[in-house]
Amino acid sequence: MLGGGPGAPGPSADAGRGSRALGNRGVLVSSASTVLFFAAIAVIVALSPGSEVVAERFFNPKNLWQSLIGSTGNPSVLGAFLLNVKIFLVAEVLILVLALVIAVVRGIPGPVFFPFRLLAIVYTDLFRGVPLILVLYMIGFGVPGLGLPVISYLPDVVYGVVSLVLVYSAYVAEVYRAGIESVHESQNAAARSLGLTRWQSMRFVVLPQAIRRVIPPLLNDFIGLQKDTALVSVLGSVEAARAAQIYGASEFNYASYVVAAFLFVLITIPLARFTDRLIARDKRRREAGALA
């Protein structure tokens, strides 16, 4: 309707131009509505009785900068954020491996392997159910309290990473499992009929398809993981959110929280866009497959 008039070229080109025309008008409408929407928010915020106080307490450039780079007695939020990144990178690798093991174990058929399957089920139920912060407290304060050699005398960050790995592996294992179960049984049957063992079929036929399908939800979980690294601070280490809290409490100013939030968003956005692209690519591929 919006596209070609009577004199428009053939149907396929028409469809393309039609959507572009809709796009132009859509851009106009969306721009106008965006401007209006944010202008309304800006006006409400600016006219609120406490807007000056909030601007001073949250967005004062001096405090923003000071908390970013640190000051006497207060750690730098940016410096502390490096710890979040390190925790994230180490935990991510461990989670990918452990979760895959759990998902595969859960899928092993046969009565002999029942105890292993049971263990995998109990594990995912348990660690998906317990809030991360409680796991952190139990591991981070419980294990050192046991007084065992070596494992009770590790740095607190290690207990933090272990807790993150325990909790997130349960989530990610379920994502893997969904992927494995989405691969049609005929793929496995075909592989077995070609003489591949059960393990070879899993390794070379099922998993490659399964993992490719679950990459977008996996990345989604990792965006969650990036943010949850902030919780490791309850065990004593100063990461970005804690550094922000220290600054806030000593200066009675919340600018440091704004800075920390900004850093988390800054590192999350590229991953989110990357996920979007993967989803779009996957969709294109599936649609191409459906046509063929």
Partner 1 sequence: MRQRITLIGLLFVAMLLAGCGGQSAEESGATDRCEMDDPPLYTEGTLTVATDRPAYPPWFKGNPKDYSGYEGDVAKEIARRMDLPIKWVVEPFNKSYAPGAKDFDFDINQITITPERKQAVEFSEGYFDNAQGILVMKDSPAADAQSLSDLEDLIIGAQVGTTALDFVNETIKPAEAPKVYDTTNDAKSALDSGQIDVFVTDLVTTVYLRDFEIDGSTVIGKYPRNEQFGILLEKGNPLVGCVNEALTSMKEDGTLEDLQKKHLQQYLNVPTLEK
Q: Does residue 236 interact with partner 1 by CB under 8 A? A: yes
Residues touching partner 1, count (CB under 8 A): 35
Asked if 80 contacts 243 with a C-beta cutoff of 8 angstroms, the reply is yes
Q: Does residue 74 interact with partner 1 by CB under 8 A? A: yes
The Cα–Cα gap between 71 and 56 comes to 19
The Cα–Cα gap between 223 and 225 comes to 5
Which of residues 201 and 233 has its CB atom nearest to partner 1 in the complex?
A: 233
The closest alpha carbon to 84, from 209, 205, 226, belongs to 226
Which of residues 107 and 144 has its CB atom nearest to partner 1 in the complex?
A: 144
Cβ at position 118, least distance to partner 1 in Å: 33
Q: Does residue 254 interact with partner 1 by CB under 8 A? A: yes
Which of residues 61 and 129 has its CB atom nearest to partner 1 in the complex?
A: 61
Q: Does residue 234 interact with partner 1 by CB under 8 A? A: yes
Which of residues 84 and 253 has its CB atom nearest to partner 1 in the complex?
A: 253
Residue identified by tokens 């050192």 is 144
Cβ at position 147, least distance to partner 1 in Å: 8
Residue identified by tokens 């969904």 is 178
Which of residues 182 and 250 has its CB atom nearest to partner 1 in the complex?
A: 250
Instruction: Pick the binder of partner 1 from 68, 75, 102, 160 (CB under 8 A).
Output: 75
Q: Which of 63-69's residues contact partners 24+ apart within 8 Å by CB, and which partners?
A: 63/251, 63/253, 63/255, 63/256, 64/255, 64/258, 64/259, 66/247, 66/251, 66/255, 67/243, 67/244, 67/247, 67/253, 67/255, 67/256, 67/259, 68/259
Q: In degrees, to the nearest 5, what angle opens at C-alpha 71 toward C-alphas 68 and 75? A: 65
Q: Does residue 33 interact with partner 1 by CB under 8 A? A: no
Q: Does residue 226 interact with partner 1 by CB under 8 A? A: no
Residues that bind partner 1 (CB under 8 A): 48-50, 53-54, 56-58, 72-75, 141, 144-145, 147, 152-153, 156, 233-238, 242, 245-246, 248-254
